[in-house]
Amino acid sequence: MSLTVVGSIAYDAVTTPFGERERMLGGAATHFALAASFFDEVRVIGPVGEDFDAESWEILGTRGIATDDVERVAGGKTFFWKGEYSTNLNSRETHITDLNVFEHFEPKLSDAARACDVLFLANIQPDLQRGVREQCASARFVAMDSMDLWITIARPSLIETIRSVDCLILNDEELELLTEMPNFVSAAREVLTWGPSAVIAKQGKYGAALFTRDGYFALPAFPLEDVIDPTGAGDTFAGGFVGYIAAHPEHPIDHDLLVRAMVYGTALASFNVEAFGTERVAELSPEEITGRVGELQRMTTFAHEPITLRS
Amino acid sequence: MSLTVVGSIAYDAVTTPFGERERMLGGAATHFALAASFFDEVRVIGPVGEDFDAESWEILGTRGIATDDVERVAGGKTFFWKGEYSTNLNSRETHITDLNVFEHFEPKLSDAARACDVLFLANIQPDLQRGVREQCASARFVAMDSMDLWITIARPSLIETIRSVDCLILNDEELELLTEMPNFVSAAREVLTWGPSAVIAKQGKYGAALFTRDGYFALPAFPLEDVIDPTGAGDTFAGGFVGYIAAHPEHPIDHDLLVRAMVYGTALASFNVEAFGTERVAELSPEEITGRVGELQRMTTFAHEPITLRS
């Protein structure tokens, strides 16, 4: 089976309290693909410029990621983002956003990309997401991300796109903004009435929560003393989550499967933030991932022993 | 066995997006005691004024809470707080803080209070907390809360008090402020080197995390669509948590016991926010509590099924 992702491929300049990188491979599709490639064959759709170098092609090809749908725009420059994180990493300031080849990006899908079993629409303009979604008509699971910008300036299109997918993965505050609900619980349940059968509220360093029509599951983030660079954590989570589903083509996409997918997404995201950009996930081993999943289980499991309460 | 709590007893005026109360019973010791009273005999130490009415005495006496150490100050008025929450309840503005009888409060402990098995020092000036802690020399478990005010204006005294207790329960951002660490994981582990054998990072609507020398446990909050009034949630959590420990006098206070105590604290806190002030917890049944503990377990449990990852 195969997994297609459409989204940004970028060069990032990032400063955190723990160091900086002048120019490193980044972008939502990149982070997603690296994480998802542990689970299934991944095909990336997104534009790069003539400046996209051999080292970047090599990283983007990790574990057999198919890059032949990556569009190299003649005379163009790769999307560039420069940002700086606050001391506690709770906020970040964008210094530069050069859209470059991303400004006029129109996703072109090969037959192989269109024939995907599972599709992830990373954060791009919602009309473009919907166009890709419609081309991948046979996908058995479609998930998407978005951001506050599109909620604000392209809300009707975004909602139409959300109606067409199986799963929305969004930051909890963006869910509140999108639905105008006062908390992420009511916000996520509202989105379930629009069409998607699953909604994930990402909560940054606190973890993530899954809402389906059959239930609720929440998983705290893996506790890390040294978070080096949070860039791409959400896309890496999505890569682990969607990748896990892609790896189980025979399994119905029910609450139980989505729960287990959440755990792999959480594990992958925790590695991503341990180093700058793709540095940690590109070097990761399967054993490290399964080890961390086991640790997450130990850190969240409790016995429910009967107790007589006073009345 | 018995559980003593020292802290504020108050009248609160609270406005949230879902309603308001002009004057209702509140205060850290009140919320703590109501929650803890499901688990053990609770004794409250704190001052009230002559305006403290019969209905308040009755609520404070729920499930046999001992109120004979509550000091009724002649000519005094009960501590009064008036505040208003933002639309999404993420922040609140204090309109009035009348310390009244709390301004010159000096805790006076009866022999029964001093002989407690378990002690909770709710958020009061750290010198006062330490004085109470020293009087309860035979307590086998002492936990405490605090707030940003004391971190800022009474830091050396606060740290000395923290060194003298078994467990610090604090908001995650206050832990970072206290230790000057960039995240609550490193902050909590720093506090473990000061003396306490357990640290709890409260995370509001996201849940709470427990750090001991033997491990880590995190539990998401119970998902609620309708949060009516968050006032007292942290103290209610502490009441469930400390109460559970008090109810297990024969059990060593190890990681496993603290984990299970966290679950009861989380369950109690979730009820507290479903109504204004003490309204929900005062009417709560033991069956509702154990039911919610079971729900929390279902919402956080996952199977760790083996998967072959690509390498």
pTM score, whole prediction: 0.96
Residue among B206, B260, B304 minimizing CB distance to A302: B260
Long-range own/partner contacts, residues A147-154 (CB < 8 A, 24 or more apart): A147/A123, A147/A174, A148/A173, A148/A174, A148/A177, A150/A123, A150/A125, A150/A126, A151/A177, A151/A178, A152/A177, A154/A125, A154/A126, A154/A127
The residue range of the domain holding A197 is: 2-300
Average pLDDT over residues A104-131: 96
Q: Answer yes or no: do B309 and A293 touch at CB < 8 A.
A: no
Residue among B189, B203, B226 minimizing CB distance to A206: B203
Number of domains present in the structure of chain B: 1
In a domain, B301, yes or no: no
Residue B304 forms contact with A (CB below 8 Å): yes
Nearest CA to A265 among A192, A173, A202, A186? Answer: A202
In a domain, B174, yes or no: yes
AA identity, residue A69: D
In a domain, A65, yes or no: yes
Q: Hey, what are B32's tokens?
A: 């703590």
Give the residue from chain A lying closest to B40, CA to CA.
Answer: A310
For B72-87, b/e burial (b = at least 16 CB within 10 A) is: ebeebbbbbbbbebee
B283 falls in which pLDDT band (50, 70, 90)?
very high
What is the distance in angstroms between the CA of the first residue and the CA of the last residue of chain B? 57
Burial of A19 (0-12, 13-18, 19+ CB in 10 A): exposed
B311 falls in which pLDDT band (50, 70, 90)?
confident
Give the residue from chain A lying closest to B190, CA to CA.
Answer: A225
For the stretch B155-168, pLDDT in tens is: 999 999 999 999 99
Contacts of A311 in chain B (CB under 8 A): 38, 63, 285-286
Report the alpha-carbon distance of residue B42 to residue B297 in Å, rounded.
27
In a domain, A311, yes or no: no
Residue at token pair 């109810």: B247
Contacts of B264 in chain A (CB under 8 A): 307
- Give alpha helix (H) positions in chain A: 28-36, 54-60, 111-114, 126-135, 148-153, 155-163, 172-179, 184-192, 233-246, 255-272, 279-282, 286-300
AA identity, residue A13: A
- Please tell me whether residue A172 adopts helix, strand or coil conformation: helix
- Please tell me whether residue A222 adopts helix, strand or coil conformation: coil
Residue B1 pLDDT greater than 80, yes or no:
no
B305 falls in which pLDDT band (50, 70, 90)?
confident
Q: What is the pLDDT of residue A305?
A: 82
Residue among A182, A215, A293 minimizing CB distance to B87: A182
Q: Answer yes or no: do A300 and B217 touch at CB < 8 A.
A: yes
Give the residue from chain A lying closest to B245, CA to CA.
Answer: A307
Half-sphere exposure of B34 (CA within 13 A, CB side): 30
**CATH number for the domain harbouring residue A84:** 3.40.1190.20
CA angle B93, B96, B102 (to 5 degrees): 120
In a domain, B311, yes or no: no
Average pLDDT over residues B80-106: 93
In a domain, B184, yes or no: yes
Q: ipTM of this model?
A: 0.95
For the stretch B22-76, pLDDT in tens is: 999 999 999 999 999 999 999 999 999 999 999 999 999 999 999 999 999 999 9
For the stretch B94-149, pLDDT in tens is: 999 999 999 999 999 999 999 999 999 999 999 999 999 999 999 999 999 999 99
List the 231-290 stretch of B: residues with Cβ below 8 A of A: 244, 247, 256, 259-260, 262-264, 285-286, 289-290
List the 211-230 stretch of B: residues with Cβ below 8 A of A: 215-220, 223-227
Q: Hey, what are B192's tokens?
A: 């473990």
In a domain, A224, yes or no: yes
In a domain, A236, yes or no: yes
Residue B86 forms contact with A (CB below 8 Å): no
Pairing verdict, β B198-202 and B207-212:
antiparallel
